[in-house]
Structure 1
Amino acid sequence: MKPAVLVLHGIWNADLWVRPLARRLSQAGFDAQVFGYQSIASAPQVAFTRLAERLRDAPPTHLVGHSLGGLIALETLRRHPDLPVPRLVCLGSPLKGSATAHALLQRGWTGTLGRSGPLLDRGCQPWRGPTQVGMVAGDVPRGIGRLLGGIGDDSDGTVALAETRLPGLADHCCVRTSHTGLAFSPLAARQVVAFLRQGHFLS
């Protein structure tokens, strides 16, 4: 039986955004499916509840979340620590809070983040749950965060590398791509596969 994986997209994206990543995981031997949710119009709590319901009576299922999707996944696991999720990989998720989101909120552009704004702004608590959590970060500084002046060169252009280093992670790695590119990068996908299989990234 193939190990199950659910892939979560980020803000402003539909589930089609991460289908290429899900395809790569399927080609690597996983039963990969996409979990879609409303990232702007609905509160994150709706996604927490729906994801928990999807996982509760399922066989053990890994999670992979791009950007906001990683925060949604991790916060769901914090609220429901009994869910059968062996491993979670976040792709460029600002788990310690996003300076880009903060800059948008400070400028009054709350509509651009919708009801996900507060979660992106504050991030998640240090991780102490049973699920092994890994982070694949990008280090090509090309994105909206650079335009807003909220982050520097040590970033993927939208999320600073420091924002991805949440205490409690099992492993962390960087790949040469931007924030958007993390969802499409073959190297990022290989790192995801490695962590889901063995609990650590390729050196």
Structure 2
Amino acid sequence: MQPRVLLVHGLLNASWWLLPLALRLRKQGFATELFDYSSVWEGPEFALPRLRKRLLAQPPDALVGHSLGGLIALTALQQAEHPRVQRVVCLGSPLRGSETARCVAALPWARPLLGRSAGLLQTGVAEWRGTAEVGVVAGIAPRGMGCLFAHFKERSDGTVALEETRLPWLADHVALPCSHSGLVLSHSAARQTGHFLHHGQFAPTSEHTSRAADV
């Protein structure tokens, strides 16, 4: 039986945005499904109960979340453990909170872009008490709308700084030459995601920092 993977999209996106990634994971032997929610109008307050209900009714073996979607996935598992979920991959998720989100929130004209997800994006998910193994695929190609709001002094994907994706409790961490949105469309990101879901670790690269210990 193919492992079931539920994909969760990020801010200002919809589930169809993850279709290229879902198709590539299917080619790697996974049965993929998409979780949809309104990141601006509803935010985590409404998305989390729906996701927890989905996990109970149709429990997947793993979760994959892009950006805010990774924070939503981890928070849902924090609130109610689901033993069947063995692994989680976050693509460009600001686990330590997003400086871009904080800059946007400080601008009255731009703040509506974050909607009801503003709080979670600014705080991230600093602690992890779940049993699932968590891996992060980060981007280091600084192209994206985030550059209009935040001025990164370190490497970033144009929206999320590399260091915002690293925490000591991660099972594994890898950085790829992708922009924030490009992580969803990248063949390499899809291959690394599938590798972690199969093996609990990423395939070695020059930007592969095992267990993200250097934080």
1:19-58 equivalence runs, <5 A: 19-58=19-58
Q: Distance in 1 between matches of 2:36 and 2:82?
A: 22
What's the RMSD between the two structures over aligned residues? 1.2
Q: Distance in 2 between matches of 1:15 and 1:49?
A: 17
State the Cα deviation string for residues 79-100 of structure 1 (Å, max 9, x = none). 1123521000000000110000
> Gaps spanning 5+ residues in structure 2: where?
205-215
State the Cα deviation string for residues 70-114 of structure 1 (Å, max 9, x = none). 000001011112352100000000011000000000112221110
Q: Distance in 2 between matches of 1:142 and 1:121?
A: 20
2:208 corresponds in structure 1 to none
Give SS of 1:75's match.
Answer: helix
Give SS of 2:188's match.
Answer: helix
1:158-169 equivalence runs, <5 A: 158-169=159-170
1:115 corresponds in structure 2 to 116
AA partner of residue 183 (structure 1)? V
Q: Distance in 2 between matches of 1:61 and 1:150?
A: 38
Q: Distance in 1 between matches of 2:75 and 2:176?
A: 25
State the Cα deviation string for residues 9-68 of structure 1 (Å, max 9, x = none). 110001110011001111111001111111000030211111111111434420000000
Bigger mean CA deviation after superposition, 80-89 or 91-100: 80-89
Among all aligned residue pairs of Structure 1 and Structure 2, give the percentage whose two residues are the same amino acid.
50
Q: Normalised by the size of structure 1, how large is the TM-score?
A: 0.96
State the Cα deviation string for residues 100-137 of structure 1 (Å, max 9, x = none). 00000011222111000111011113213101000000
> Gaps spanning 5+ residues in structure 1: where?
none
Residues 45 and 83 (structure 1 numbering): CA distance in 2 closer, same or farther, change over 3 Å?
Answer: farther
1:130 corresponds in structure 2 to 131
State the Cα deviation string for residues 148-175 of structure 1 (Å, max 9, x = none). 2342341000000010012311000011
Q: Distance in 2 between matches of 1:103 and 1:7?
A: 28
2:93 corresponds in structure 1 to 93
AA partner of residue 134 (structure 2)? V
Whether the 8 Å contact between 1:77 and 1:83 is mirrored in structure 2 is no
Whether the 8 Å contact between 1:48 and 1:72 is mirrored in structure 2 is yes
AA partner of residue 18 (structure 1)? L
Q: Distance in 1 between matches of 2:38 and 2:147?
A: 26
Q: Distance in 2 between matches of 1:6 and 1:136?
A: 17
Give SS of 1:134's match.
Answer: strand
Whether the 8 Å contact between 2:87 and 2:200 is mirrored in structure 1 is yes
Bigger mean CA deviation after superposition, 133-142 or 159-168: 159-168
Give SS of 1:38's match.
Answer: coil
1:183 corresponds in structure 2 to 184
Give SS of 1:55's match.
Answer: helix
Give SS of 2:32's match.
Answer: strand
Q: Distance in 2 between matches of 1:112 and 1:173?
A: 29
Q: Distance in 1 between matches of 2:25 and 2:140?
A: 22
The alignment status of 1:142 with 2:143, answered yes or no, reads yes
Q: Distance in 1 between matches of 2:107 and 2:151?
A: 12
